[in-house]
Structure 1
Amino acid sequence: MKYDTLNDGTIVAQDLQKVLSQVSPSIKKEDILRFTRFLEKDPRGRIDYTKFIDDLEKVKEHNPFKIIVSRIKAFMKQNGQDVQKFMRRLVAGESQTGSGFHKEEGLEKERKVSVPFFAKFLKNKVAKKKTIDELTNYAELIDVDGDGFISIHDMNSCLGNLNNETFYKNNGSTLIGTFKTILSERDKFFPKDPLPHQKALEVVAKIKEALTAKGISMHVLFSKLDTNGDEFLTFTEFSENLDPIVKLSPIIKEKLFALMDVNKIGMVDYPSFLEVLKLTPVSAKTVRVEDNFNWEYETVDKIKKWINDEGITVE
């Protein structure tokens, strides 16, 4: 190895940082610095790089489901595909087996592939080291509406929520309950037309006044609205349970909910709820900043992917 100046299988942290920066520019410099700072070093302050590579392979993935979806996103990016093109390719692949699903009604086309076929795709292209049983479980989670097929809608829901910690909470366990129940009923109404910003400011001010008068915090309000305690609000929960706190017209409630529903899936988590209720006249545009406490695992995953891609071993 170029940086092993002593030829004893060790390198200094600064050189490892250089290597990681060169081979994986997608990893932020500050993450690399933090990562190498906590690596085990010998009395000379040097890192055994063969042990480092070996230890990486032993790191347990903290949220395998989210990592699978992230890798699907990376696969699409590497192949210059958006969701439409990605699904079109999968459908074409499954149709060759004679078991594909392609429904056409007028100008609308809905492309789907079966969960077993999608699991095989994951095995071949995304996570070769995982068993087909594991990948079938993840494919079933990606099948958000639980109809046995992976659709464009399912993919958009998963990809669009990569920064939504509640969506991926407990390795996707949320999807087994709430989302499977709500999103499987596609035809059910939920508002999609949001309040304009100026009107939203007026409504939010009214809600804040009511909360102050009743001595209720925003978090408590969310809990009161979230009657089933799943950390998501449906429009029914929002509309029916808001009335005892503050009276709003049905159309205002619909449009306010649509403003909170940033992922357009008919469900609102607490960060999205809070983001709207914190609107002020100067916050003409709200921006959600990802507070990523999982940088260590994501950095490890990126390094492991590079090691696998390059075929590096400890031999």
Structure 2
Amino acid sequence: MGIPATTYNNLARPTGVTKRRSSPRRGSLKIRRTRSRDRFFWYSASDGVSRLVNSNNSIPEQVNNYSFAPSEFHHEAYPKTFPVGGVWPPQQIDDLVFATGSENTDCVGDTCYNGNICEDLDCTHTLAAWKAATSDWEKHFELRKTEHRGIGVYTRHAFRQGAILGWYAGELKTLASMDGSKSDYLMEIEIGDISPHTPLEPTPSIYIDGEHKGNWTRFINHSCAADCVFRIMRVGNTRIMAVEAIKDIPRGKELSVDYGEQYYGLTTKKRCACGVPECVERRRIRLEKAMERRKTAEKAMERRKTAEKAKRNGNIKRCRRVAPPILV
């Protein structure tokens, strides 16, 4: 597929309370699975214009919305975390990602880029209003090429700790449909009742796939000293994966989240390149060096044991045994 003449600035545009409490109970604290950004890169055409494409030479569609195909859920079992008598297979977004459970008091309301939340269980906030509130993301963030980590998201102004910066949009997919997928933009989100008292393990979940359709949040890179976190919240009756600042973030800073040790860990195939002092890669290198020293020491010990054994046995005569002659 060829590269269209659309400039990056045009293709990157998406189409279209009360003060937060100090309690740490806000939303689900489970580490979310998300993937690296290394499958997308910048392409400079002969006309000198840089454009955003992926490894298939196609442009990822910038959308600030959920989308899904009901037919993909037709063969899925009715989730055990759903109330009895619910709609299945889902026909609308709220049939699939309706808000119930521990995030019920954490509505992002109808504004963004601040720490205000709504705790009214019967509020009238809607996903449509939230999409409108987050459609001007380019006033607050910009995408830039990084030196070693593909595309990154940088702030245009400062944000305070606790501010909600956006949400992870994309296509809602079943886990089975993405089995074996090499997509680097999958975000897992639980569906149904995710209250702490729910005794189900594992909790039914789906993927938000942002590879072909998604918003700017899919380009937030990993850091072992992250300044953001993906957290389950709601907007009215709809569950979302919100991006929350967990520390004050200055202007011009690259946003980051921690992908978790299942993605960048001490034994994973992928190697972290964030470079912060507490980077898991530094610990990994120290561990690898310690293991190498241990192997070297074990080999040296084995050689010493072999040499000592040879020394102890050095004066022992080991003549060839010959059968005695047979007398006739």
Pairwise same-fold verdict (TM > 0.5): no
**Structure number, greater radius of gyration:** 2
Q: TM-score, normalised by structure 1?
A: 0.22
Q: TM-score, normalised by structure 2?
A: 0.22
Structure with the higher strand share, 1 or 2:
2
